[in-house]
Amino acid sequence: MQELKIRNPLGVWGFTLITLGIYGLFWYAKTAAQIKGVNPDNPKNVTGTSLVVWMLFGFITLYIVPIINWFKLCASIKAEQEAAGLTPTFNTGLATLLCFLAGTNLIYLQSQQNLVVAAVQARQSVPA
């Protein structure tokens, strides 16, 4: 299972800006793997490798496949929140809008991901 880790949302965004997007690609791959670890049965899960490859070479399909993968990632995050026992608070429209505001969607995605990580860690620390 992928290590569940709470990350600083502003740190993810800032480091992505500093590295000119390279860290963002790494972050997308790690997040996809983490989602798959929490909710392996979700058919909409995307693999980190395919997500990164299509983001890099999406021009081949006129960016249709990267858009599909983006919405699959958003659906996976929402399903992951449900699998963790949370009421889903993730909003795909807001996440998509934030893509166009200096990439601040990473802040939103990571903050939503942190909710899941906190819920899973709390559930794992509670004795049965």
Q: List, for residues 6-38, the tens digit of each pLDDT value.
A: 999 999 999 999 999 999 989 988 888 888 877
Q: List, for residues 68-127, the tens digit of each pLDDT value.
A: 889 988 998 999 899 889 999 999 999 999 999 998 999 999 999 999 999 988 888 755
The answer on pLDDT for 58 being more than 90 is: no
Rounded CA-CA distance 58/78 in Å is 24
Neighbours of 117 (CB within 10 A): 19
Rounded CA-CA distance 98/115 in Å is 19
Rounded CA-CA distance 114/108 in Å is 10
Name the residue ranges covered by the structural domains of the chain. Answer: 9-125
**Mean local confidence (pLDDT), 34-46:** 75
